[in-house]
Each structure stands twice: as structure tokens, then as C-alpha cells.
Structure 1
């Protein structure tokens, strides 16, 4: 059977999240118009890069180590890490344009320059990331897709984890934060299958946040609603 494709030539990939929410403020529209293009990591979309030429993440950041945050939400953590770690470059991936606009406002306020933004599906970014090019990755409070029949839509499935693992360097750290117990269960099953080792040795290793953690609005919502965050640290096998 012929593989189903988009007119652009891209493989047919169902996307179940939202691309846009409520109407953007004028200031947010300005951020998108004035700042987004200059913060692009390069040609990622199939329309702009139909030959799927790989990015050179190191060249984006003058040879510095490169980190990746998948689904950065409102961008609090991404900007925090960029400000805290000027010696690295960070690529943030987020398809929800309202979140992208929020991030761009934070970037202006913080004045950070060591990050790039891809406003789209992480799978398209994985297509053009070279092997072993990412030194640390973050997956923080991803969409839980709580209904059992929707668990295949979660990020912690082979469709996402296998290309992520390919892009990560041996020994690279992968952090996952979630407040959903069943998401923890699926993460602990699927992430090791993709070539990562869970680093926890005692309960504090998953009950306490990382030393450089900043609590996001999603985490604050979870805490208000009585859910318990879990902080999972994995290491890419050599």
C-alpha cells in the first residue's frame, strides 16, 4: 500500500493538540511578526525543507552544547534555563501559537539570545536533527491524554521517543515532569525501551525537583488541584 502523504511530501501524521487558542493580544501579534523569524532554528517545515536537509544545531550557537525543550507551554522554563546557562544553546518546540507568543514576550523581557524557537510538531524537528546532536532534553507537563484509548497520542510512545533518542548524544540527560500517575507509569515503561536509563536510586530522586527547577504555571495548577508532581531523570545509553 502506498504511504499516505501531505501535498508537501510530508508523511501523514495526525496531530491531536491545539495550534491556536483565544485571540492574541496586539502585543503578542507584534512579537510573532517581529521576533519569531529571527529566532527560527532554520528550515524545518516540509514546505521550506522538502529535501529534509539536516540542521546544524552547533552552528546555531557557535559550537556550544545544544539542549531541547519539547512543548514549552508558556516558556517560563525555557527562558529560565537560557538565562541561567549562557554557555549552551536551547531549541524550544511548541505547536500552540499562543504559547509561542507568550514565550516571545518573555524573551524580550529577559533579553536572552541563546535560544531558538520552532512553532510546530516536534516530529518535524526530529526529522532534521542530526544524530547525537542534543546534549539535554526536557519534557515538562506534557498533555496527559487521560482516556485510555488516547494513550497512544502521548509523547512517551515510540513514534516520538525513538527519533528523540537518535538525536541525543550518549550520556545526555532527559528530564520528564508530570503530575499524572499513569503518565509516570507509561514513561517508566517506554522511555527505557527507547534507550534511556532511569537514574532514580531513592524516592527523593523523583519526588523532589531538580536544583535548577522553576515551577511553571502548569505545575502550579496541578498543585492547586491536589496533584503530586513527579520529576523523572533519564540518561541516554552510550
Structure 2
């Protein structure tokens, strides 16, 4: 185990440091209904061949094989409780959306929301977004979202944030030319790093303000930030 990785902070057995941009893999005991969602629904929504265990040769996985059609594909990195992911799927039924989230309690919450909303244009990868970006074809994603990511507030952990070149360069590879990348956070230093790092990976800043997008839905993490007096911040980039 690397001396730089603190298992008390990750809540999980340490993975190689360059992939460790998320925190806990599991939290409080789940309700029986959430366990049911995981046992009954996840297998049908989970794309195959994403994890290194299933695809050790890291062969390319075509999004059309995941969804069974050629509709445009969007990607949400770390969907939390799934509010935004389900909202976008319901708002844009002609779009396919892949959500990645290693926190299994969040996955269970999402599956319950999918049942309630009845959306069918979603795929759920219950793991690291980098595993997905490793195997997707170049230029296959039309839009990407990073909403309220783990802030990793300690300076020595800033390199674990998603907005580093280790994660942004692979993201840029799978995004189409002109694709939009949205970032929402309530941590000023996270936005500072976002504005510095994202352009270096081949993106142009389109907008940055305290006003969310027209199709935005406030998530549970945003509501928590507002209750605790933190100010949401939103940035839009475009791949160049």
C-alpha cells in the first residue's frame, strides 16, 4: 500500500493512486429496498467489458453495443444520488447517458430513481470513470458532466481531484470535437483548479457564473451546500 493513500479517507482498499480520485466505496447500511434494486436491476443496466477484471486486454467497447442504438451518448462522472442523471435521461429521451459512480449506496439510490421515473436510456457503471474512458472509442461522447465531485480539500490530496491532467486528458480523448463539458461545485478552490487545468487538456471556457444551466436540477449535494452556506459555481467548457 502506498504511503500516500489513507484507507481511512478512502473507505476502501487502496487502488493505484492515479485512479484514486473518489472517496468511499460504501457507506451506511442500505435499506432493504435499495438492496433489492442492486440485486434485481443493476445487472441489466451495467455495461459489460468495462472493468479491468472483465476486460483485461482493455479492448474497445462501442457505446452502440451498450444501448443497442446509435443515439448520441452523454457521460456523467460521479452521479452521487442520481438526481441529475435521471433528470437528464427523462428530459432528453433521444439521448443515451452513461453514469459512473463507485459509491455503491449512490448506485442503489439511482436505481430506485430509475424505477420511479421509468427511464430506459441509461447505463450504470458502478465503478471508476477511468475504467470506462480507457475502453471507449475516441470521440464517442457528445457531452460530459462533473457535478459536485469529491473536493479532496487537503492540499496534499489535490492531485486526486478529477480535474487533473491524468483524468482530463482521457476525458478529452473520448469527447467529440465541440462536445460540452459541464462542471458544478461549491468549493472555490476546486473551481480555481478547474479553470486552470481543464483548458490545458484541450478545452475552451464557454461560461463561468453562479447561474446554473437552463436544464439543471439541483442535487442533494447542492442542497446540502446551500444549507451550509456555500455558494454553487458553474462552468461550461467545449472541446477544441
Same fold (TM over 0.5): yes
Structure 1: gaps (5+ residues): 1-10
Is contact 1:93–1:119 with CA below 8 Å preserved after alignment?
yes
Give 1:172-187 correspondences, 5 Å limit. Answer: 172-187=179-194
1:12 to partner: Cα distance: 3.6
**What is the aligned counterpart of 1:72 among 75, 79, 86?**
79
Tell me by how many angstroms 1:98 deviates: 0.1
Deviation at 1:225, TM superposition (A): 1.0
> Once the two structures are superposed, what CA deviation does each residue of 1:82-115 show, in whole Å capped at 9, x if it has no partner?
0000010000000000000000000000000000
> Are 1:93 and 1:121, in contact at CA under 8 Å, matched by a contact in 2?
yes
Greater mean deviation of Cα atoms: 48-57 or 104-113: 48-57
Match of 1:137 among 132, 144, 162: 144
Offset at residue 58 of structure 1 (A): 2.9
1:138-217 map, 5 Å = 138-200=145-207, 205-217=208-220
Equivalences for 1:76-95 in 2 at 5 Å?
Answer: 76-95=83-102
Any stretches of 5+ residues in structure 2 without a counterpart? 1-14
| Kept after mapping to 2: 8 A contact 1:58/1:65 | no
Distance 1:32 1:148 in 2: 35
Deviation at 1:116, TM superposition (A): 0.2
Instruction: Please say if residues 48 and 54 of structure 2, whose CA atoms lie closer than 8 Å, have aligned partners that are also in contact.
Output: no
| Structure 2 residue corresponding to 1:107, chosen from 102, 105, 114 | 114
Q: 2:7 is matched with which residue?
A: none
SS for the counterpart of 1:138 is: strand
Match of 1:6 in 2: none
**Pick from 216, 219, 222: which aligns with 2:222?**
219
Counterpart in the other structure of 1:123: 130
Other structure's SS at 2:209 match: helix
Aligned mate of 2:52, from 28, 31, 46 = 46
**Residue of structure 2 in register with 1:60 after alignment:** 66
Match of 2:34?
28
Shift of 1:59: 3.6
Cα shift readout 1:103-135 (whole Å, capped 9, x = no counterpart): 000000000000000000111111111100000
Preserved CA contact (<8 Å) 2:225 2:231:
yes
TM-score normalized with structure 1 length = 0.91
Alignment partner of 2:180: what SS?
strand
